[in-house]
Structure formats: C-alpha cells, structure tokens
Structure 1
Amino acid sequence: MTDADRASRHHALLTLIACGGASAPRRQLLEAYPVPEAALAAGVASWRALGLGDAQIAALRAPDTASLMRGRAWLADRNHHLLGWHDPDYPSLLRRSPNPPLALFVAGDPARLWHPAVAVVGSRTPTPGGRDNAAAFARALAGSGLAVSSGLAAGIDTAAHAAVLAIDGLTIAVLGTGPDIAYPASNRALHARIAAHGALVSEHLPGTGPKPGHFPGRNRILAGLSLGMVVIEAAARSGALITARLAAEAGREVFAVPGSIHNPLSRGCHRLIRDGAGLVESADEVIAALATIATELAGDLQQRLVDPISSGHGIGPAVQPLGPPADPDYKNLWAALGHDPTGMDQLAQRTGLTPANLSSMLLLMELDGRVAMEHGRYFRKG
C-alpha cells in the first residue's frame, strides 16, 4: 500500500470514528464494504439503510476537520497504528466481546494485543499491602509468559504496569482518553514507557481528554482484551467491580484476592467471591485456570497467521505462519534460542526476523511447551 493509499484509508476510518453515536451501525457499514474508503463513499441512502442516525450522517457529510487533523498527525508516527473493525489484525478476543469498539488506536506493536493477557485491577487508593499484592501478581503473571493489562489509573493499575515493566515483561494499558493523553498526569512517564515497551490502546481520537462517561467504555475494552481479570482491593462500590461485571458478561474468568474483614477495600473482593468469582491467593492459581482459554487464543492466532491479509494500517506486513519444523523461520528462531534467557532485541538481531514475527512465533512455541519466558526473556524448555 502506498503512502497515498494509507492516508486515504486513515481519512475514511477517522471520519467514521469521529461521527460518533452507536458503534453497531458503523461496524455493519465496515462489514458491508471491502475497505473504509468504500464505506465512506457509499452515500446517505446506504448509511441510512445500515442504521446510521441523522446526527451520524450529518457528521459524515461535514466532518470535524480539527479532529481529523489531530488523528492524522498522531498516525504519522511509525509507532502509532489504527485498527478498524474491518481489519484482520483486530484482536479476536475483543471481536467476540459485547459491544466491541469500531476501531482501536494503538501506540506500540498491535500484535501484542493478540498475546494472552490477564487484567489486574483494583482501588485507586490501595493500602501498601494491596499495592504489594498487585505488583507480586503482575510480576508472576508476566514471568509466566502472559501479558498483564490494566487501565493506567492510579493505585493498583499503576503498581501492576510498573511491576511488569521492571522485569521487561509485556503490559497493555487501555485508556479512557485519547492515546496521546496521560491520565492521571502523574502517570505521564509510565504512559511513555508502556508505549515504547508494551502497547497503549484507546477507542478515542487523539486529543480526547478524560470524561467520566469514557471510563466504563475503557473497562469494557479491558475486559474484552483479557482472558481473565484479577481484582485486588476494591471498595463495596467501585469502578473495579464494574470492570469485573463487564468481564463476567464477556465470558471471562474473574478472580478476587481476599483480605482482612477490617479493611474496607476488601469488601468488594469478598462480594465478588460470594457472587462466584474465584478466590485466589497466588498467580499460579490464575495461570492454571486460564491455560485452556490461552490455548484457544493460540488457535485463533494460528489461523490469522495461516491466512494473512495486509490491511496497510494494522500490524503491517503479514506475519508468516509458524508452520512445521522444516519451516526456515522456525528453524532459524529455534537455533537462535538457547537454554539461557534471551531478550527480544537479541533474538531479532540473531534471526533477522521482525519483532511482530518473533512475538507471534514465540507465543505459539510457549503454548506448545517448547519455550518459556522469564523476566521478558525467552529460552528453550527441557
């Protein structure tokens, strides 16, 4: 795809995002036409037939130029991506969740959104013990090869993201703002580190500030991207409980860490346990419970690799399938791996493969039992 074609596609998708309103009719529009450009050019009769309302149609006919310019400026960075509903690189778990977003702005490698992830959430004002528990669970989950997702909020979210970055693991932050806005402002440095070493995800146009109505939507995306969710310290009425409910509605496993009956921040977790959430005391219990679901996600990824389609604004060049042992890339990667842990950068240097290829291949090798990850580094098992 040429730069002009890419710009045209971005313009069409940004226009569809900026028109706002219900997502379902716009998803149907993208399903009805092969590319966003065709969907945008379809015209009023087609838009109306697919369920778009008067306000959406008016916004498509006279888009907000300033919003589109901010979006195009943000996408000019090579580390910034836009995945639309029509895109084969749109994460399969999220696609199967209730009310998935029309599109995702991603700072970082979009392939990381296919990596099996566990959400770690909880209070914005945790106790020191709760903060320590969040960090311990996040480190153990990341050390097992899972990604750790959260919402970049203060408190438990911050502790989980920071703990994973400290061991060079993979962490994903789902935002209730535009992808360029750090919220809270105290997490500006953490926001930048996650963009560089993990992935930042938002359904909102660049430049969108924090609004109360955005955070329930942020929570539904967090639930939809994750295999399961661990709640660590939550008051009886808290956003973490809403996120846990959304995870359960999306068919995800919900786990809660119990605490002292004298701690008000334990009441939400105890309520979740009474309502059927799994009581967990260690990350190993979470990892064991999610093993089967992680294998199913690997199947989705294998299918994506076998039938690649390049969208021009998603992950980029199509990743090649892992294939049988005779596959040259597979043999190349296996030879580059040793029994000593090796980082992704070094593997890329040894093999000449892109990080997107390596990430996908290593994920399948992990789930196949051939490879393990420790502190963000990979090595042969056995």
Structure 2
Amino acid sequence: MDDDRDLQAVLRLIHAGGAAAPRRALLSMPGGPASALDAGPAVWRAAGLDARQCALLAGDAPDIDRWHDWLTATSARQLIAWHDPDYPALLRRMSAPPLALFVEGDVARLWRAGIAVVGSRAPTVGGRDNAATFARRFAVAGFAVVSGLASGIDAAAHAAALDADGDTVAVLGSGIDQPYPRSNTRLHARIVGTGTVVSEYPPGTPARREQFPSRNRIVAGLALGTLVVEAAHRSGALITARLAADAGREVFAIPGSIHNPMARGCHRLLRDGATLVETAEEVIDALAAIAAGLADALQGRLCAPIQRGKTIPAVPAEQQASPSSDGDPDYHRLWNALGHDPTGMDELISRSGLTVARASAMLLSMELDGRVAAAHGRYSRKS
C-alpha cells in the first residue's frame, strides 16, 4: 500500500473490528480508504457499520501507531487489504475473507499455486515423516506449502519445504510478530527470511483459542487443495478440510492404521468424500490443471504474457530491455536491476524504486516465464 493516508485508514478500519462486510464495502468505495474515512459517520452507517464501529473509527486509536511502526520498519512487511489488487485471488473467493492481511516476506507467494498440509499437533513418527515427504515433493514440483505454523504436522511441512529450497506460507492465529507455539520461534524466523508469514491479526496480538478456526479459513483459502496427513476425530485440521471443501477446493487424506487414533480424522474425511492418496504425485496430478488456471489469473493481474510452449529467441540478456513485450516501464526498471548474480529483494527494491508487492509479483511472472531464477529469496537472470 503506497499511500500512507490509505495505510492509516485501513489500520483504523482494522481497529474498529466488528462485522467485516461493511468495512469491506468502505474499502471498495471510489477514492480509496482515506477518502471513505473522510466521508464521515453518515457514509459509514450507510455502508452498514454499527454505532460501536463508528465510534471506534472516530475516536483515538493509539495501537495504530505501533502497527504502523511495525509495517514501515522494513520493506519486507506489507499490509494487503480487500481493495488492493494484490489481495490473493484464491482467498478472495472464500466465505468471509479477511479484511486485510499483515504479511512479512515475499508477498508474491500468496499468488503462487499452493497446497495446504495440515494435521495433528502430536503426530506419530510416521505421520511426521509423511508430512515432510509430501511437503518436500510439493515444493520441488513448484507448489507453495501452506500451513499454520503449529507443532507437529504443520512445522514438519514448513521445514521440509524450506529444506527443499521451496516456497512456504505460514498463517498465524496470533499477531504477525507472535509465533505460536514459542517453540517454533526459530522456524518462524526462518520462514520470514525465505518464505512468507501471514496473519489477519495486528502485531502484538497474543494467541487465543478462538482465533485458530479463523486462521484455518485463511490456510484453506490460500491453497488449491488441502492435504490432511494425520488428525484425531476432533481436530482443527478437520475444520480446515471442511472450509476447503465448502469453498469447492480439493481435499485429500492419507489413510492410516485402524488402531492409530491419529488416523481417525482422515478416515472420517475419506468416508465424507475426500480423495485417498498414498503419494504426493497423486495430489500434484489432481491439482496441475487448476494450478495452470491460477497462473493465468496471475498473468491477468500483471498484464504481461507468459509464453507457454513457445520458443524464446536466443537474445543476449544485455540486449533484452524487458522480459515482457507490453512496454511496461516497471518491467524495464526491474529487469535492469537484475543481474546474473543472485540479488536479494531489498537490493532490487533499492535499484528499481518499485514497491515490494509490485516487484514480487513481476518476479513471479518472470520466473513462470523462464527468464528469472529464484533461490533462497534471491533472484537472477537466467541465461
């Protein structure tokens, strides 16, 4: 979000709390968030805000300064709100999508085809190994591994994706800066460095039990499909699977022993119509066509062609003014900022003058186009 007045306005709408639909309506008004807030209480009430929300919008909000300071401390932090064109397309299609997302890391991963890997916080050794094996294979195949940074299956999936030099997205049920459980603090820092951490809760928000089902809807919403590795009969992973199914997303489950209590949730899902899988390839094959559709949606967002099945002329990189043919000057600036040596995002932003959100989305497009290589959060031109 480039305009600081708009950023302040969105933070104030987050602070107001309450029903999200009226606040989304304000964000969708012409003129942007700041204009909607300047319109005053009559317009707020017409959008559907109740008296408490209106009072909070008009009153003092000291927390906003702290949230603003956290967001502006580094270019790796972003707030993506409902009105923002960078708001993830898949999440927008969910029931009750979040008003805004606090993001730390590469925002482009929120548009990448992802698979949610979820399950028990206390898995068996076999379940943990399965989570790591499947997540590693998904990462190598180019899918982002999405999970909730919980103990057990979630942590194993995130770590395996990172170990494979792949993408992972961690969705928190607490403030963006409050990893939970605390035992995952180092994993959280690792994901911030080379992956993406997301939360709808502002910095400083502690973990509360009632926030985790809301977190699960974002996990399901960011992914093309959800894989449940191990889950007890009553498990948060089953909530994620149900939310995914309700949104028309694919749900997969790994079967287990009838004597394993951690398999009962998966067996319940299978009885209810989830797809039984024994290998990661079965999941990848089932989602391949949908992933191609997401790539097309991304391309529409960026208005730059991805060349599928076409031969790219062998022109030296130094003679290529831009990786796209649409003449967008932003592409020229970013392409010129890239070199043959891997370069971090901060340096690319400094060289190009672009926002992190814009540069990240264009880099993903260039990567899909086969012109840019990405590894460990650093980017370079492909020969």
TM-score range, shorter chain: 0.7 to 0.9
Aligned counterpart in structure 1 of residue 81 of structure 2, from 84, 95, 118: 84
SS of the residue corresponding to residue 153 of structure 1 reads: coil
Matched-pair contact (CA < 8 Å) for 2:107–2:360: no
Q: 2:216 aligns with which of 196, 219, 225?
A: 219
Aligned to 1:312: none
Displacement after TM superposition at 1:357 (Å): 2.7
Q: Could you give the per-residue CA deviations for residues 333-363 of structure 1, whole angstroms, max 9, x where no partner exists?
A: 8xx999xxx97869x99xx985543222223
* Structure 2 counterpart of 1:101: 98
CA gap 1:345/1:73 in 2 versus in 1, 3 angstroms: closer
Residue type matched to 2:138 in 1?
A: L
Q: In the alignment, is residue 250 of structure 1 matched against residue 243 of structure 2?
A: no
Amino acid at match of 1:58: A
**In 2, Cα distance between equivalents of 1:190 and 1:92:** 27
**What residue number does 1:309 align with?**
none
Aligned with residue 198 of structure 2, among 201, 209, 212 = 201
State how far apart, in whole Å, the 2-side matches of 1:127 and 1:292 are. 33
> Normalising by structure 1, what TM-score?
0.85
**What is the rounded CA distance, in whole Å, between the counterparts of 1:375 and 1:110 in structure 2?**
15
- Residue 119 (1) aligns with residue 124 (2): no
Say which of 305, 319, 330 aligns to 2:323.
330
Match of 1:359 among 354, 360, 364: 364
2:70 equivalent to 1:74: yes
Q: Following TM superposition, by how much is the alpha carbon of 1:63 offset from its aligned partner in structure 2, in angstroms?
A: 3.8
Deviation at 1:10, TM superposition (A): 1.6
Cα distance, 1:43–1:322 mapped onto 2, change above 3 Å = same
Which amino acid is 1:180 matched to?
Answer: D
Question: Deviations along 1:121-152, whole A, 9 cap, x unmatched?
Answer: 00000000000000000000000000000000
Amino acid at match of 1:206: P
Residue 95 of structure 1 aligns with an amino acid whose one-letter code is R
SS in 2 for 1:73: helix
Query: What RMSD in Å do the two structures reach over aligned CA positions?
Result: 3.0
Q: What's the TM-score, normalizing by structure 2?
A: 0.84
Q: 1:43-91: per-residue Cα shift (whole Å, max 9, x none)?
A: 11111111111111111011421x2022111112221100111101111
Task: Please say if residues 118 and 154 of structure 2, whose CA atoms lie closer than 8 Å, have aligned partners that are also in contact.
Answer: yes
How do 1:1-382 and structure 2 match up within 5 A?
6-65=3-62, 67-78=63-74, 79-306=76-303, 322=306, 325=312, 328-330=321-323, 356-365=361-370
Q: How far apart in 1 are the matches of 2:339 and 2:268?
A: 45
In the alignment, the residues of structure 2 paired with residue 322 and residue 135 of structure 1 have an alpha-carbon distance, to the nearest angstrom, of 31
Corresponding residue for residue 314 of structure 1:
none
CA separation in 2, counterparts of 1:144 and 1:277?
22
- CA distance, structure 2, for counterparts of residue 21 and residue 29 of structure 1: 14
Shift of 1:7: 2.5
**Aligned pairs, number:** 352
Q: Is the 8 A contact 2:195 2:377 kept in 1?
A: no
AA at the equivalent of 1:359: L
Question: Which ranges in structure 2 are unaligned for 5 or more consecutive residues?
Answer: 314-319, 325-331, 353-358
Which residue identity does 1:68 align to in structure 2? I
**Equivalent residue letter for 1:177:** S
SS of residue paired to 1:106: strand
Distance 1:275 1:112, change over 3 A: same
- The code of the aligned residue for 1:73 comes to D
1:176-207 deviation per Cα after TM superposition (whole angstroms, max 9, x unaligned): 11111111000111111111111100111111
Query: Which of structures 1 and 2 has the larger relative contact order (alpha carbons within 8 angstroms, sep 6+)?
Result: 1
Report the AA paired with residue 366 of structure 2. M
Return the alpha-carbon distance in structure 2 between the equivalents of residues 264 and 137 of structure 1. Answer: 21
Residue pair 1:143, 1:373 contacting (<8 A) in 2 also = no
Task: Find the aligned partners of 1:278 and 1:374 in 2 and give their Cα distance.
Answer: 32
Distance 1:375 1:71 in 2: 28
Flag structure 1 segments of 5+ consecutive residues without an equivalent. 307-319
Task: Give, in angstroms, the shift of residue 289 of structure 1.
Answer: 0.3
Identity of matched residues, %? 57
Per-residue deviation, 1:33:
3.0
Task: Provide the C-alpha distance between the structure 2 equivalents of 1:262 and 1:376, rounded to a whole number of angstroms.
Answer: 43
